[in-house]
Chain A
Amino acid sequence: MIQEYQPVIRELEGLAHDRGLAFDPVVFQITDSDEIAQVASMGLPNRFIHWYWGGTYKELVLQQTKEVFSILELVLNTNPSHAFLRSTNTYLQNVLVIAHVFGHADFFANNHWYRKSNKNMLNLAEQHARLIRCYEAQYGRDRVEKLLDALLTVATSVNAFERSPQEQRKRLIYYLEERAPLEEFERVLLEAIREEAEYFDIIQRTHIINEGWATFVEAELLNRLLSAKEWASISTQLCNRPAPYTIGYTLFAHVRDQDGFRRALELRQFYEDVSLIDTALTEELVRRLDIFVYDAKEKQKSYDLQKVKEMLIAQKLFKGEPRIEVDPASQGRDLLLAHLDEDRKLEPKRLGLFLRSVYSLWRNPVKLRANGKVYTYDRRGLSST
């Protein structure tokens, strides 16, 4: 079936190169919605099986039946890149998708932050999955699953952009990797989960710029490939996409209009979400994109550029998660964590569960300063002062 698309793939690839794009080979394959939901929920097609992906998979399968929210394609940041096109897509949809995929492939190959990412992730993920199966046989499924739950919980603290070892050590997962009294197999799993989390962290921190660039490239290529009538119908679809796509696309289109295509190429090479927003978002674009800070109590919207920017950047810097750091006062067996935005309250129900996960890895009392209290989790459970 993919043969049908080979001529258009070649044509779009040629157009992309003409526009100055460069990327690793892309292997296209046509697959069904179910497989797309499967890969999307796990992040990689051969990743280890965990219940948490199961919930996402279930939701995605449902979504795939609804045309508006369905996923049309998936592309993996590997070398070669693997792109999955949905078999139920129309020919024109797949042409759009192919152009979009070339945008992603170009971003993966050229963006500065992706240089650190592991392009051999498919093999590594397979290796991890096999390792986990072996450990399950050796140590029991329950024990391994509980360990994976705890590791995936602390894995959100990775930062693939952080280069300074000192700064990195402030992040929980790296601290645990260095100092937690883990058994050998537990340590091996911690490293595996951390490696995978770093791979996905880069993708998460470049979500807007990556999707924006891919949509921008898609528009650039299709504008040249399609007839005026076809293009007119497609261009309205381009704007009818989820927020990261439209925000990123609008920023790139604005940069191109203001400073030319070369400047857009530069942004895709050196920037990530935070720097792109900081550089390219303007008051006019905030209005055009209809993004605002919403006060739920007062039911009021603020389009103030500074406020919107700050909030967007804060979301992207910490992936929307609370900033938890290992306090320098942590010594020996004492692990003290601190929530850095003390003004913002954390959901109390989750605190105990989170600390229990950390405790299962640290095996000694864990403290967390948050919500104006110090929470302690030890062998007696949760307490606060």
Chain B
Amino acid sequence: MKIHRGRIAQHKHDQHLREYLKQNLNELIQQKELIIDGKVKTQIATLDLPTLKFAEEAQYLAQGAGSAGSGTGAGAGGGAGDDRVQALGGLLGGDHHGKELRVELDFDEFVKLAQEVLLDELQLPTFHEPARQGEVESQDIPELDDLDRIGIRADLNLEETMIQSLFRNARERGTLDYDVDIQQDAWYFVEDPTTFQNNRSVEVYVLDVSGSMRGEYLSLVRKTIFILWHYLERRYPTNLRRYVVFQDVAEEKTRDEFFCVESSGGTHISTGFEKAIELLEGAREYDKFLFMFTDGETSSGDFDLAKKRFEEARGAFDLVIYCHVNPGGRGIGGFSEYVQETAKAQEGAAFANLMDLETIRGAMKDFLAFFDAQSKRRVSETVRR
């Protein structure tokens, strides 16, 4: 067997990198622009041996970028008016002046790493297997009501398979025969109802970008989202994520934009709820979640409308999780207090006062409890049917 030295070295390098990033996670996660071109740019210089280097210098050797092609053409070059300059140090086997290389990570890689660190810090359970695995084994599963389902392909959708076989025979032979060819026709499966209803989700993340959206605030929001993802991804292999930011008005953003937001304007929480509900239009997924992150009080005059929209959201979503981002640990009042009270008294809403890692941990416990309750409810509903 050939030893792949390159990959082993890369594995070792990545282990170092992970350790290094773990130590700097808190700083990284607070970057205002977390994703640029799909990558998380860090302030960490490429992992290097600690050799000595010159500090940034005023003068260095360079070449006109794009001048390489003009090397031999008689009288070519010049380029004095060309503003593009490429530092030559590194290319000549020398030092790297100019822009220093920074470690870049794919966003997914970064999230995975962050989850690893956070779950460890919070001492929350890490799921390695999909959570629904246990449910399938439950004794409470009702008899399946499809046609005969035994053997290796117990979940084969016989009806659909036979229809497809009929079509194929009509097409290929010109006869309407139910002559099933397993290789060609048996591609249709009945989803287990207990998992079918349970493996898709729509998640709408709504972020208040008014005022003090920076530093510790951002850190708490992002940490909460990353941990939520850890659980949601294992629960729902297929999920649709939508992102909304709001201040006076709300607008949908892409994932990358959501993680690179500028703060400004007032706080109209109603607009956030309204936009989130709007995004549900046409969504047929079974579980619909709304995660609202806000740090402040809704603007005067918006309170009643916010209440109304919140109630509408509770009706439209399976669960509305309202995260009051509160790094300073101040008291809760106004609209947040209203949501907190509603969440205590009624179903379909949860309230989290995010002050630090410990409160994120508490919020996750509440959130996981929702799944527990939901699973029990579903099983009993199915049995009743």
Distance in Å: Cβ of A327 to nearest Cβ of chain B: 15
Judging by beta carbons under 8 Å apart, are A244 and B79 in contact? Answer: no
Across the interface, name the chain A residue whose C-beta is closest to B9.
A54
Judging by beta carbons under 8 Å apart, are B53 and A321 in contact? Answer: yes
Within residues 1 to 49 of chain B, which ones have a CB less than 8 A from any CB in chain A?
4-17, 46-49
Judging by beta carbons under 8 Å apart, are B71 and A246 in contact? Answer: yes
Judging by beta carbons under 8 Å apart, are B92 and A208 in contact? Answer: yes
Complex interface: chain A residues within 8 A of B75 (CB) = 288
> Which of A38, A153, A204, A235 lies in contact with B50, CB distance below 8 A?
A153
> Which of A49, A58, A253, A295 lies in contact with B72, CB distance below 8 A?
A253
Distance in Å: Cβ of B244 to nearest Cβ of chain A: 34
Across the interface, name the chain B residue whose C-beta is closest to A250.
B71
> Which of A37, A290, A322 lies in contact with B52, CB distance below 8 A?
A322
Q: A54-B11, A316-B94 are in contact. Are A346 and B77 (CB under 8 A)?
A: no
Measured in the bound complex, the distance between the Cα atoms of B13 and A47 in whole Å is 16
Measured in the bound complex, the distance between the Cα atoms of B94 and A335 in whole Å is 27
Chain A binding surface SS class: helix
Judging by beta carbons under 8 Å apart, are A238 and B72 in contact? Answer: yes
Complex interface: chain B residues within 8 A of A235 (CB) = 72
Judging by beta carbons under 8 Å apart, are A288 and B95 in contact? Answer: no
Complex interface: chain B residues within 8 A of A354 (CB) = 50-52
Judging by beta carbons under 8 Å apart, are A350 and B6 in contact? Answer: no
Distance in Å: Cβ of B200 to nearest Cβ of chain A: 34
The tally of residues in A whose CB lies under 8 Å from a CB in B reads 74
Judging by beta carbons under 8 Å apart, are B51 and A291 in contact? Answer: no
Judging by beta carbons under 8 Å apart, are A290 and B9 in contact? Answer: no
B74-96 CB mask vs A (1 if < 8 Å, else 0) is 01111110110101111111110
Complex interface: chain A residues within 8 A of B50 (CB) = 149, 153, 350, 353-354, 356-357
Measured in the bound complex, the distance between the Cα atoms of B85 and A356 in whole Å is 36
B115-132 CB mask vs A (1 if < 8 Å, else 0) is 000000000000000000
B47-64 CB mask vs A (1 if < 8 Å, else 0) is 111111111011111111
> Which of B7, B48, B58 lies in contact with A296, CB distance below 8 A?
B58
Measured in the bound complex, the distance between the Cα atoms of B101 and A55 in whole Å is 12
Confirm or deny: B238 has a beta carbon within 8 angstroms of a beta carbon on chain A: no
Complex interface: chain A residues within 8 A of B77 (CB) = 287-290
> Which of A236, A243, A287, A351 lies in contact with B92, CB distance below 8 A?
A243
Confirm or deny: B73 has a beta carbon within 8 angstroms of a beta carbon on chain A: yes
Q: A42-B9, A290-B63 are in contact. Are A345 and B15 (CB under 8 A)?
A: no
Confirm or deny: A347 has a beta carbon within 8 angstroms of a beta carbon on chain B: yes
Across the interface, name the chain A residue whose C-beta is closest to B12.
A51
Judging by beta carbons under 8 Å apart, are B9 and A153 in contact? Answer: no
Q: A49-B8, A239-B72 are in contact. Are A291 and B52 (CB under 8 A)?
A: no
A299-335 CB mask vs B (1 if < 8 Å, else 0) is 1010100001001100110011110100000000000
Complex interface: chain A residues within 8 A of B78 (CB) = 287, 290
Measured in the bound complex, the distance between the Cα atoms of B78 and A1 in whole Å is 44
Across the interface, name the chain B residue whose C-beta is closest to A44.
B5
Confirm or deny: B69 has a beta carbon within 8 angstroms of a beta carbon on chain A: yes
Given contacts A235-B72, A288-B76, A292-B61, could you give 4 more A-B pairs where the C-beta distance is less than 8 Å?
Answer: A52-B48, A55-B46, A299-B83, A322-B54
A55-68 CB mask vs B (1 if < 8 Å, else 0) is 10110010000000
Judging by beta carbons under 8 Å apart, are A49 and B9 in contact? Answer: yes
B283-315 CB mask vs A (1 if < 8 Å, else 0) is 000000000000000000000000000000000
Judging by beta carbons under 8 Å apart, are A41 and B9 in contact? Answer: yes
Judging by beta carbons under 8 Å apart, are B91 and A243 in contact? Answer: yes
Complex interface: chain A residues within 8 A of B48 (CB) = 52, 55
Confirm or deny: A241 has a beta carbon within 8 angstroms of a beta carbon on chain B: yes
Judging by beta carbons under 8 Å apart, are B6 and A38 in contact? Answer: yes
Measured in the bound complex, the distance between the Cα atoms of B61 and A292 in whole Å is 6
Judging by beta carbons under 8 Å apart, are B58 and A149 in contact? Answer: no
Judging by beta carbons under 8 Å apart, are A54 and B6 in contact? Answer: yes
* Nearest 9 interchain pairs by C-beta: A320-B94, A54-B13, A353-B50, A38-B6, A54-B9, A320-B95, A290-B67, A51-B12, A54-B10
Distance in Å: Cβ of A21 to nearest Cβ of chain B: 21
| Residues on B facing A (Cβ under 8 Å) | 4-17, 46-55, 57-64, 67-73, 75-80, 82-83, 85, 87-95, 98
Judging by beta carbons under 8 Å apart, are A320 and B89 in contact? Answer: yes
Within residues 192 to 232 of chain A, which ones have a CB less than 8 A from any CB in chain B?
204, 207-208
Judging by beta carbons under 8 Å apart, are A152 and B6 in contact? Answer: no
Distance in Å: Cβ of B278 to nearest Cβ of chain A: 40
Q: A295-B59, A346-B54 are in contact. Are A239 and B68 (CB under 8 A)?
A: yes
Distance in Å: Cβ of A376 to nearest Cβ of chain B: 16
Judging by beta carbons under 8 Å apart, are A322 and B79 in contact? Answer: no
Judging by beta carbons under 8 Å apart, are A57 and B6 in contact? Answer: yes
Q: A246-B71, A321-B95 are in contact. Are A50 and B80 (CB under 8 A)?
A: no
Q: A57-B10, A208-B92 are in contact. Are A243 and B68 (CB under 8 A)?
A: yes
Within residues 327 to 376 of chain A, which ones have a CB less than 8 A from any CB in chain B?
339, 344-348, 350-351, 353-354, 356-357
Measured in the bound complex, the distance between the Cα atoms of B169 and A68 in whole Å is 52
Distance in Å: Cβ of A261 to nearest Cβ of chain B: 17
Distance in Å: Cβ of B252 to nearest Cβ of chain A: 32
Confirm or deny: A242 has a beta carbon within 8 angstroms of a beta carbon on chain B: yes
Distance in Å: Cβ of A284 to nearest Cβ of chain B: 9
Measured in the bound complex, the distance between the Cα atoms of B82 and A156 in whole Å is 35
Q: A249-B71, A320-B89 are in contact. Are A303 and B80 (CB under 8 A)?
A: yes
Complex interface: chain B residues within 8 A of A242 (CB) = 68, 91
Judging by beta carbons under 8 Å apart, are B73 and A239 in contact? Answer: yes
Complex interface: chain A residues within 8 A of B79 (CB) = 290
Confirm or deny: A3 has a beta carbon within 8 angstroms of a beta carbon on chain B: no
Confirm or deny: A293 has a beta carbon within 8 angstroms of a beta carbon on chain B: yes
Measured in the bound complex, the distance between the Cα atoms of B68 and A253 in whole Å is 15
Distance in Å: Cβ of B332 to nearest Cβ of chain A: 43
Confirm or deny: A185 has a beta carbon within 8 angstroms of a beta carbon on chain B: no
Distance in Å: Cβ of B102 to nearest Cβ of chain A: 13
Q: Which of B10, B55, B82, B98 has the most CB of A within 10 A?
A: B10
13 A-B pairs (CB sep. < 8 Å): A41-B6, A46-B5, A54-B6, A57-B10, A149-B50, A239-B71, A249-B71, A288-B72, A290-B63, A294-B87, A320-B89, A345-B57, A348-B55
Confirm or deny: A297 has a beta carbon within 8 angstroms of a beta carbon on chain B: yes
